[in-house]
Amino acid sequence: MDTDALVETLRDAGLSPYQAEAYVTVLGLGTASATAVAEESGVPAPRIYDVLADLEAAGYVETYEQDTLQVRAHEPAEMLEDLQSRADRFEAAAEAVEQRWERPELDGTAVSVVKRFETVLDRARQFVGRADYRIQLSVTPEHFAALRPALVDARDRDVYVRASIHTGPDEPFPDRDLVEGACREARHRTLPAPFVALVDRQRTCFTHHPDSVEQYGIVVDDRTHSYVFHWYFLTCLWEPWETVYAAGDRGFPREYIDIRYCVQDVDPLLASGERLRVSVEGYDLETGERCSLTGRVADVVYTPEPPNGGTVDTALLGGQVALLVDRGDGQVTVGGWGSVVEDVEATRIVLERE
């Protein structure tokens, strides 16, 4: 440790700036006059006698008369014991802080603005760790790798994970091993994009791309705000880009977390005469309680209709989108995120042939 660092450490240990400078000087000189200590340490001469007296009272030095006032350092055992005691207390305090620390929620508000990307990434990792059924991501390969352990755990909990992984225009999609086992489907966006993590239709983390002029992050814990980010994700970060990885195949049964994709598949199948059944998990919109149901798909509902009788496209399904399900004792309408006029808001749909 150099002299400046030692002086700074002694100041942290409780010595005044002049005391620390004088004591380190005495250690270097061995035995010296008070005048020599003042000259070497930079302590003003009128102050040196009070400073040495305070150090002597604390047991750091001793003074004696020999024509002039002389000073020498005491054997440092007592001082070393004091420093070690302080170090032990600091270490114990650090351990106590670590044991008691728990990251607080950001003010308990629906939307919080933060300055550091690390805060956004850490909160995204926490949200992913608590996910129940759905995760949507817009990430770089590096950020996906940072979240991968939490994503693997989420997949083990049967959470449906979609990842839009963005790179530079000339950069290839990363190795398949990065995404395998950590997501259900991945697409490759060959343009820079913001970091987005949407979890369970409730929680969202967002921050601009690092090269953006505006640098801040947003943490959301609110369904309505998250719904806006969902449509941004769907239209800008997901739909236009090619699927480069999909777990499983397109046979039956098929699983959906977005009713719009379900309706896209169901509509032509019903038109060709297929008989289909669904198992639905979601929320009863009358009671707000979790519910599940099974039944035969009687019809699909979407407004507005595709122009000129065209095919159903996800971008056109910004209005009502629903399945009409016959449970045997009556029919119910099953909608998706943001459902208002339907009976059930689905969070997961499994489609099978009868």
Give the residue from 185, 214, 246 where a domain finishes: 246
In a domain, 58, yes or no: yes
List Cβ<8 Å contacts ≥24 apart for 175-180: 176/245, 178/141, 178/144, 178/145, 178/148, 179/144, 179/245, 180/245, 180/247
Q: Are the CB atoms for 182 and 148 separated by under 8 Å?
A: yes
Average pLDDT, the chain: 87
In a domain, 105, yes or no: no
- Shared domain for 163 and 289, answered yes or no, is no
Per-residue CA distances from 190 to 144, 145, 237, 329 (Å): 16, 18, 10, 50
Residue 315 pLDDT level (bands cut at 50, 70, 90): very low
Residue 107 pLDDT level (bands cut at 50, 70, 90): low
- Shared domain for 242 and 172, answered yes or no, is yes
- Shared domain for 44 and 153, answered yes or no, is no
- Shared domain for 137 and 218, answered yes or no, is yes
Domain count for the chain, please give it: 3
pTM for the full model? 0.65
Q: And the tokens for 177?
A: 């091993």
249 burial (CB, 10 Å; 0-12 / 13-18 / 19+) is exposed
Give the residue from 246, 273, 290 where a domain finishes: 246
What are 48-73's pLDDT values in tens digits?
A: 999 999 888 888 888 888 778 888 88
Higher-pLDDT residue of 10, 237: 237
Residues 218-238 have a mean pLDDT of 92
In a domain, 103, yes or no: no
- Shared domain for 29 and 46, answered yes or no, is yes
Q: What is the CATH number of the domain that holds 220?
A: 3.30.870.10
- Shared domain for 126 and 236, answered yes or no, is yes
- Shared domain for 23 and 94, answered yes or no, is yes
Q: Which domain holds residue 309?
A: 254-353
Give the residue from 246, 265, 296 where a domain finishes: 246
Q: Are the CB atoms for 180 and 84 separated by under 8 Å?
A: no
Q: Are the CB atoms for 204 and 198 separated by under 8 Å?
A: yes
